[in-house]
Amino acid sequence: MIDDLAVVARDLTKTFKGGTLALDNLSIEVARASVLGLLGPNGAGKTTAVRILTTIIKPDSGTAFILGTDVIRDPARVRSVIGLAGQNAAVDENLTGLENLRMVGDLNHLPRGEVKARARELISQFDLADAANRPLKTYSGGMRRRLDIAASLVARPAVLFLDEPTTGLDPQSRNDLWEVIENLVEQGTTVLLTTQYLEEADRLARQIVVVDHGREIAKGTPGELKARLGQTVLEIGFLDHEIAVRALGVLGQLGKIPPTRDGHLVEVPVDDGPKSALEALRVLDSAEIQPTTFTLREPSLDDVFLSITGKTTE
């Protein structure tokens, strides 16, 4: 079984100076050629986990192996099989796009000829060919992010760490990047992705680990997690909270998961959006309750947290 796992981390614990407990016995397993989504709010410990697995910092306790190599004992070997795109676009402002990629290729000790070819290949794959010879100072935020991710792929790493890769990307670039990740995985790359967006984890990850305060609070396939949530959330607003309380009562029978109320807003997680929406309106109508607003939306990270911990991410 272990051989099918590209990343195995057990009981990682890390406390930073000042006593902040960043990781609290976090365990992670990522199957080869799959995506694991590490889902959690800001400050949940996602980046700390990535930094430990990419040999940047050492855990206080726990073990971690990448493709069977001990991250703590043999970091040099680990570095030769991984790629990392961190949260800040870690690129050199003064170098051009191509120069940045070549530098990373050189530092990965790729053969000289391959470095040049690979840099050209990636720059066009990431739609940066027009800006290839411009210093990064002239790049937009989204372009930098794309270049940063391209840089993490220069050495064709077997295991790729992407720390909130789509933060700051426009929807088009985000979709493009998702496609790139899917292609990489199809071809055998293992990806550990951190994200704050349930939608992203849902689209890409085979397994999701939800973290909060450095601890795992839930894990499973996207399907399993969403089964706890419902596919869609009906967000229904009322004139005041008294009416909302009454509505909460009659909407209770609608789905498998009980609805929640926040002030004069009622949220009903349901599995079949439009059908349940009709039914909700019917139920409200027959109880003679008038909604003021009515919205259908995808469940968010907040909903995951609410369902697991009973409180939102804030």
Judged by the rule CB under 8 A, the positions of this chain that interact with other proteins are 51, 54-57, 76-77, 79-82, 84, 86-95, 99, 103-104, 106-109, 122, 125-127, 135, 151, 153, 155-158, 176-177, 179-180, 183-184, 187-189
**Distance of closest approach, residue 157 Cβ to other proteins, in angstroms:** 7
Task: Specify the pairing of strand 35-39 against strand 190-195.
Answer: parallel
**Distance of closest approach, residue 1 Cβ to other proteins, in angstroms:** 20
**Distance of closest approach, residue 95 Cβ to other proteins, in angstroms:** 6
Query: By C-beta, is 91 or 277 nearer to other proteins?
Result: 91
**Cα–Cα distance, 178 to 185 (Å, whole number):** 11
Query: By C-beta, is 117 or 245 nearer to other proteins?
Result: 117
Query: By C-beta, is 71 or 243 nearer to other proteins?
Result: 71
Helix pair angle (241-251, 273-286), 10° resolution:
120
Maximal CA-CA distance, the chain: 75
> Which phi and psi angles does 26 have, rounded to 5°?
-85, 130
Query: By C-beta, is 71 or 198 nearer to other proteins?
Result: 71
E strands, the chain, in order: 5-15, 21-31, 35-39, 61-66, 69-70, 82-85, 159-163, 190-195, 207-212, 215-220, 232-237, 260-262, 265-270, 293-297
Q: What is the CA radius of gyration of the chain?
A: 23
Query: By C-beta, is 180 or 265 nearer to other proteins?
Result: 180
**Distance of closest approach, residue 165 Cβ to other proteins, in angstroms:** 13
How is residue 293 annotated by DSSP? E
Query: By C-beta, is 69 or 309 nearer to other proteins?
Result: 69
**Distance of closest approach, residue 50 Cβ to other proteins, in angstroms:** 9
Query: By C-beta, is 128 or 248 nearer to other proteins?
Result: 128
**Distance of closest approach, residue 195 Cβ to other proteins, in angstroms:** 18
**Distance of closest approach, residue 109 Cβ to other proteins, in angstroms:** 5
**Distance of closest approach, residue 207 Cβ to other proteins, in angstroms:** 20
- Give burial (CB, 10 Å; 0-12/13-18/19+) of 57: middle
**Cα–Cα distance, 146 to 240 (Å, whole number):** 46
> Which phi and psi angles does 57 have, rounded to 5°?
-130, 160
**Distance of closest approach, residue 49 Cβ to other proteins, in angstroms:** 14
3-state secondary structure of 85: strand
Q: Which of 298, 69, 68 is nearest to 197 (CA)?
A: 298
Query: By C-beta, is 165 or 291 nearer to other proteins?
Result: 165
Query: By C-beta, is 3 or 288 nearer to other proteins?
Result: 3
Task: Specify the pairing of strand 82-85 against strand 69-70.
Answer: unpaired
Cβ–Cβ < 8 Å for 290, 250: no
